[in-house]
Amino acid sequence: MKALRPAPDPYPIREKLAVARKELSSTLIERDEEVDLVLTALLANEHVLLVGPPGCGKSLLLDSVLSWTGGAKFAILLTKFSVPEELVGPVSLAGLKEDKYVRVTAGKLPEADFAFIDECFKGSSAILNVMLKILNERTFDAGDGIVRKVPLKLLGVTQ
Ligand SMILES: Nc1ncnc2c1ncn2[C@@H]1O[C@H](COP(=O)(O)OP(=O)(O)OP(=O)(O)O)[C@@H](O)[C@H]1O
Ligand SMILES: [Mg+2]
């Protein structure tokens, strides 16, 4: 007698996405289109901006997607008092002792695979400019003159 084994799924990623889509859609009421939008952005390696009235689930959706992904993550809620250091890391004190202006980016946006910036337009123009380069060109210069590619796959931003 042979044990009946289910055939392995030939499309494991498709299956995984279908499960995520179903779970997200059941958590977020009437947000199927937005769920699809974020998952499509994830697949297409693009970023996504969610705009809508307060309390419509923008943050909940991006929080949920980020909790589902693996990899290095970065999330921040911006206020008008936020400074670029909170996004890209502080200036290295050891570097300053050697007359170098280099940022320590560990755990910050330049090293994240997946990121969520909540209420991004509350950030100063200094923050928006830092974000723009990372979003558009997908590069970051920590201050040592070397322009490195960032590993960012999906940056979710809310208004
Ligand atoms: N479509 C939805 N389905 C289920 N719960 C929802 C939905 N929309 C909002 N909520 C509930 O409302 C709470 C607030 O939503 P959330 O903080 O995500 O809104 P927001 O769009 O980010 O608002 P704001 O612009 O004020 O930041 C959520 O934590 C959730 O409990
Ligand atoms: Mg929000």
Task: Give the per-residue pLDDT at 3.
Answer: 66
pLDDT tens digits along 40-89: 999 999 999 999 999 999 999 999 999 988 899 999 999 999 999 999 99
Tokens (6 digits) for 143: 């201050």
The span from the CA of 83 to the CA of 73, in Å, is 19
For the chain, what is the mean pLDDT?
A: 92
Could you tell me if 73 and 117 are in contact, meaning their C-beta atoms sit under 8 angstroms apart?
no
Highest CATH level, class, for 47-158: alpha beta
pLDDT tens digits along 109-151: 999 999 999 999 999 999 999 999 999 999 999 999 999 999 9
Tokens (6 digits) for 110: 């330049």
Task: Using the mean position of ligand 2's atoms as its centre, give its distance from the Cα of residue 139 in Å.
Answer: 27
The span from the CA of 81 to the CA of 76, in Å, is 13
pLDDT tens digits along 82-96: 999 999 999 999 999
> Domain map of the chain by residue range?
47-158
Backbone φ, ψ for residue 144 (5° rounding): -90, 5
Q: Tell me the best of 60, 61, 62 to mutate to test the pocket of ligand 1, counting ligand atoms within 8 Å of each CB and taking the most.
A: 60
Prediction pTM value: 0.88
Check pocket membership of 56 for ligand 1, CB cut-off 6 A.
yes
Task: Using the mean position of ligand 2's atoms as its centre, give its distance from the Cα of residue 159 in Å.
Answer: 8
